[in-house]
C-alpha cells in the first residue's frame, strides 16, 4: 500500500477574527502541489513502527501518522494497540506552511484504513481528520479547495489551471500559534485588521495572505525574498499558511527555473514544483 502525501500552498488566506475558542476564523484557498512525501504501509504482527531516515521527523506518538493509526483502529472498534509499519520518504520541508505533517496525517488515515480493511466511511475519515488538526481535512480533498471556519471546513473547487511554483525558504521558521498571535497584536495596535489592503475579491485564486504582514514585520528577510520573486518575474507571490515559506507562481518552467537561480545566487534555498489537480494529488476518496 503506497500513497503520495502532497504538499499545499494557501493561494490566499484571510483572517476574519479571533474566535471565542482561541482559534481564528479563516477564509482560505488551498492548492495542492506536485511535491509530495511517500508513505509505504505494511502489515505487522503486534508491533507498530514508523521508519523515516529524515532528521527531525518524530517516530513516536507526536507524529500525526501514529495518531492517525490510533484514530482509525479505535474508530473501527478494534481493541489493544494498532499493529503495522509505515516507511515515510520525506520531501516536504517541515514547519514551513506547506502542510507536510498534516498531509502525512491525512494519507495515514486512508492508508491504515485500506491496509487493515476497516472500511471507514468518508464522513468518518473526515471527522477523524478534524481531530488530527485544522489543516488535515483539506488533504482528504486535495486539488483546489476553499477552507472556512478554522480552515477545517473544506469545499472542493474546480481545479485551478496549472502553474509552475517556486518555493523559497527563509532561514527562520514560524510556529502557527506565533503567527496568529502576531496577527492579534498588530490588529489590536492598528485598531483594524492586520491584513494587506486591496484584495481582488471576485477571483477565488487571488494571491495574498493576511499573516504575511505580521510575520514580515518581525522577519524583514521575508520581504526581501518576496521582492526577489517579484523581480524574477513571478505572476504572483505570497507567504503560504503561517509561513515561513514564500511561493511564486509562473506560467512557464524556464521562467520558474530562472527565478529559482536568481534566489539561489543570493544564498536562499529554493525548490521548483508545479500545482497538482485533485486527481493527481488526491487520496482517491471522491
What is the nearest approach in angstroms of ligand C5P to the Cβ of residue 210? 12
- Specify whether the CB–CB gap between 207 and 237 falls below 8 A: yes
Give the nearest distance from C-beta 226 to ligand C5P in angstroms.
23
> How far is residue 218's CA from residue 3's CA, in Å, rounded to a whole number?
38
Sequence-distant contacts of 70-74: CB under 8 A, at least 24 apart:
71/109, 71/128, 71/131, 71/132, 72/109, 72/112, 72/113, 72/116, 72/118, 72/120, 72/128, 73/112, 73/116, 73/118
Closer residue to ligand C5P, CB minimum distance, 113 or 135: 135
Do residues 263 and 233 touch, judged by C-beta distance below 8 A?
no
**CB nearer to ligand C5P: pick between 26 and 142:** 26
d(CA 194, CA 38): 37
Nearest CB to ligand C5P, comparing residues 64 and 125: 64
Name the minimum Å distance from CB 152 to ligand C5P: 8
Smaller CB distance to ligand C5P: residue 3 or 64? 64
Please, what is the minimum distance in Å from the beta carbon of residue 64 to ligand C5P?
A: 10
φ, ψ of residue 127 to 5 degrees: the values are -65, -40
In angstroms, the CA 229 to CA 232 distance is: 5
Helices and strands, counts by H and E, the chain: 9, 11
How far is the C-alpha of 282 from the C-alpha of 173, rounded, in Å? 27
From the CB of 26, what's the least distance to ligand C5P, in Å? 5
Residue with cell 526577489: 228
**Cα–Cα distance measured from residue 57 to residue 251, given in angstroms and rounded to the nearest whole number:** 34
Catalytic residue, candidates 104, 113, 135, 186: 135
Q: Where are the alpha helices (H) located in the chain, listed in sequence order?
A: 64-75, 100-116, 122-132, 136-141, 176-190, 212-218, 221-231, 253-265, 278-281
Catalytic residue among 8, 159, 186, 210: 8
Is residue 27 among the annotated active site residues?
A: no
Which of 182, 268 has the CB closer to ligand C5P?
Answer: 182
Nearest distance in Å: CB 48, ligand C5P: 23
Name the site residues for ligand C5P (rule: CB under 6 A). Answer: 23-24, 26, 133-135, 150-151, 176-177, 180
Instruction: Please say which residue, 112 or 180, places its beta carbon nearer to ligand C5P.
Output: 180
- 135 in catalytic set: yes
Catalytic residues: 8, 135
Amino acid at each position: 500500500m503506497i500513497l503520495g502525501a502532497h504538499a499545499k500552498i494557501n493561494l490566499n488566506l484571510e483572517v476574519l477574527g479571533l474566535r471565542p475558542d482561541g482559534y481564528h476564523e479563516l477564509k482560505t484557498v488551498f492548492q495542492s502541489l506536485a511535491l509530495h512525501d511517500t508513505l509505504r504501509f505494511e502489515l505487522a504482527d503486534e508491533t507498530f513502527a514508523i521508519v523515516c531516515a529524515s532528521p527531525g521527523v518524530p517516530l513516536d506518538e507526536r507524529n500525526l501518522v501514529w495518531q492517525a493509526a490510533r484514530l482509525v483502529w479505535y474508530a473501527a472498534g478494534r481493541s489493544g494497540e494498532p499493529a503495522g509499519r509505515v516507511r515515510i520518504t520525506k520531501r516536504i520541508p517541515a514547519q514551513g506552511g506547506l502542510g507536510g505533517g498534516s498531509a502525512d496525517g491525512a494519507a495515514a488515515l486512508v492508508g491504515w484504513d485500506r491496509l487493515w480493511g476497516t472500511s471507514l466511511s468518508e464522513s468518518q475519515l473526515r471527522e477523524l481528520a478534524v481531530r488530527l488538526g485544522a489543516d488535515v481535512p483539506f488533504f482528504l480533498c486535495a486539488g483546489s479547495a476553499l477552507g472556512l471556519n478554522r480552515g477545517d471546513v473544506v469545499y472542493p473547487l474546480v481545479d485551478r489551471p496549472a502553474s509552475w511554483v517556486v518555493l523559497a525558504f527563509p532561514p527562520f521558521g514560524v510556529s502557527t500559534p506565533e503567527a496568529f498571535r502576531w496577527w492579534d497584536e498588530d490588529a489590536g495596535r492598528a485598531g483594524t485588521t492586520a491584513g494587506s489592503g486591496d484584495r481582488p475579491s471576485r477571483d477565488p485564486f487571488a494571491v495574498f495572505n493576511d499573516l504575511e504582514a505580521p510575520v514580515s514585520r518581525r522577519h524583514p528577510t521575508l520581504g526581501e525574498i518576496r521582492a526577489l520573486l517579484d523581480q524574477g518575474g513571478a505572476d504572483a507571490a505570497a507567504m503560504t499558511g503561517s509561513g515561513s515559506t514564500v511561493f511564486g507562481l509562473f506560467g512557464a518552467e524556464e521562467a520558474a527555473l530562472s527565478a529559482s537561480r536568481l534566489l539561489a545566487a543570493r544564498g536562499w534555498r529554493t525548490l521548483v514544483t508545479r500545482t497538482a489537480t485533485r486527481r493527481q494529488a488526491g487520496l482517491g476518496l471522491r
